[in-house]
């Protein structure tokens, strides 16, 4: 899936021309104002990088930068504006912008900057996913929440939800259910624990809920699964 870039500038002509270059490699969204950009960031879109003009009517770019980082701290942001605005550059970098480009944009430089930032994000994602999986696997029996996981890995819930679905192929909650069922399968095969004990061991307070979820994901009740040929280890192996 290609990265998604949000291009924020009140100049419609500039957006149209720059978009033509970006769409060769990326998905592109547009906003003509800071307010419109914040509306997009607040929705469940996947935005990997924001290209943000400093000088716009209404909210200025530096204000929008701060608000975006409050909503989604992990989104990358490249600021751009006219030549010589050193004070704005300093303020932008202090606000955790990833880079700053001067207008008129030199397209090769802009594209190289975008590629560098997004390539770095791609390399980071595998490690982040592994950290999230580890946190879930260590705590799934406690019914760990998305917020609790985000606190453990120091990432926003929105970012975790977004990249997990994209790279694992299932949502955060679905992955927790998958792990619970896998653990239940192992306990059914390798132990003499009864269904109530297994349900409690994997974090279900209600055994009926456990049985319902297990059957939904496997096609069998836990008892039926245990009796299937090949699903029980020989006694000598246990």
The residue behind tokens 């020989």 is 234
Q: How many CB atoms lie within 10 A of CB 155?
A: 17
- 160 and 132 in a single domain? The answer is yes
- 102 and 205 in a single domain? The answer is no
Residue 198 confidence (pLDDT): 95
What's the rounded Cα separation, in Å, for the pair 69 and 75?
7
Task: Calculate the CA 128 to chain-centre distance.
Answer: 9
The domain that contains 61 carries what CATH number? 3.40.50.2300
- 130 and 96 in a single domain? The answer is no
**Cross-strand partners of 8:** 31, 52
Residue 83 confidence (pLDDT): 56
- 117 and 221 in a single domain? The answer is no
Domain that holds residue 62: 4-121
- 150 and 166 in a single domain? The answer is yes
What pLDDT tens digit does each residue of the chain (238 aa) get?
A: 688 999 999 999 999 999 999 999 999 999 999 999 999 998 876 788 999 998 888 888 888 999 998 888 888 999 888 756 666 666 666 667 888 888 888 999 999 999 999 888 776 777 888 888 888 888 877 888 999 988 888 788 888 888 888 888 888 999 999 999 999 999 999 999 999 999 999 988 889 999 999 999 999 999 999 988 776 665 544 4
Helices 157-168 + 107-139 axis angle, to 10:
90
Residue 234 confidence (pLDDT): 53
Residue 34 confidence (pLDDT): 94
Q: Provide the number of structural domains found in the chain.
A: 3
Q: Cα(first)–Cα(last) distance of the chain, in Å?
A: 44
The domain that contains 209 carries what CATH number? 1.10.10.60
Q: In what order do the strands lie in the sheet containing 4-8? A: 27-31, 4-8, 49-53, 76-81, 99-102
- 16 and 115 in a single domain? The answer is yes
- 87 and 189 in a single domain? The answer is no
pLDDT digit string (tens) for 138-172?
887 788 899 998 888 878 888 888 888 888 888 89
- 192 and 229 in a single domain? The answer is yes
């Amino acid at each position: 899936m290609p990265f998604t870039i949000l291009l924020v500038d009140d100049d419609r002509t500039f957006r149209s021309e720059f978009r033509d270059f970006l769409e060769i490699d990326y998905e592109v969204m547009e906003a003509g104002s800071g307010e419109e950009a914040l509306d997009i960031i607040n929705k469940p879109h996947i935005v990997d990088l924001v290209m943000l003009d400093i000088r716009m009517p209404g909210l200025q770019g530096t204000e929008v930068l701060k608000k975006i980082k409050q909503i989604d701290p992990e989104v990358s942001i490249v600021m751009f504006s006219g030549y010589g605005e050193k004070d704005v550059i300093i303020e932008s970098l202090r606000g955790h912008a990833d880079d700053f480009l001067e207008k008129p944009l030199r397209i090769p430089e802009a594209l190289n900057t975008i590629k560098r930032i997004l390539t770095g994000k791609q390399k980071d994602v595998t490690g982040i996913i592994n950290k999230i999986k580890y946190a879930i696997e260590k705590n799934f029996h406690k019914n760990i929440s998305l917020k609790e996981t985000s606190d453990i890995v120091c990432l926003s819930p929105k970012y975790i939800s977004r990249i997990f679905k994209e790279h694992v192929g299932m949502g955060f909650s679905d992955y927790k259910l998958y792990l619970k069922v896998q653990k239940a399968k192992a306990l059914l095969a390798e132990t003499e624990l009864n269904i109530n004990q297994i349900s409690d061991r994997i974090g279900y307070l209600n055994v009926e809920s456990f049985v319902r979820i297990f059957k939904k994901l496997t096609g069998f009740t836990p008892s039926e699964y245990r009796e299937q040929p090949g699903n029980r280890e020989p006694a000598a192996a246990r």
